[in-house]
């Protein structure tokens, strides 16, 4: 696993879109001070989500899938992006799966309109 760090702009945009498309009821400031831990997925872009630094040492268990979207990458390969929550319905992970298992070239996040 890679080190934990502040969320970057691309990850934040992906997460905000996925949350907006879900039925989750989160506090107004849910997207402030987020931390992520990139996962070892061959560069596809998956990451674990921490809403504060104290969550990092806490064991969290998978709950369920709450949202997803797909897009076609610049090389014509399908990419599926999925948001999972833990068993307490807290943000857990964004899983990115490029169907040929290669790194994503250019994330295409749908419009929030």
What is residue 57's DSSP assignment? Answer: G
In this prediction the pTM is 0.91
Beta bridge partners of 82: 68, 95
- Under a CB-based contact definition with an 8 Å cutoff, are residues 11 and 47 in contact? yes
Inside any domain, residue 111:
no
Inside any domain, residue 79:
yes
Inside any domain, residue 113:
no
Inside any domain, residue 107:
no
Q: How many structural domains comprise the chain?
A: 1
Inside any domain, residue 31:
yes
**Chain segment 9-43, per-residue pLDDT in tens:** 999 999 999 999 999 999 889 999 899 999 999 99
What's the domain range around 51? 5-98
């Amino acid at each position: 696993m890679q080190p934990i760090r502040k969320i970057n702009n691309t990850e934040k945009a992906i997460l905000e879109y996925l949350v907006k498309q879900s039925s989750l009821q989160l506090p107004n400031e849910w997207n402030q001070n987020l931390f992520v831990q990139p996962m070892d997925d061959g560069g596809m872009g998956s990451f674990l989500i921490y809403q504060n630094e104290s969550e990092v040492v806490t064991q969290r268990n998978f709950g369920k899938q709450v949202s997803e979207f797909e897009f076609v990458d610049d090389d014509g390969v399908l990419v599926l992006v999925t948001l999972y929550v833990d068993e307490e319905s807290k943000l857990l992970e964004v899983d990115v799966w490029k169907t040929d298992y290669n790194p994503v070239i250019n994330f295409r996040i749908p419009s929030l309109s």
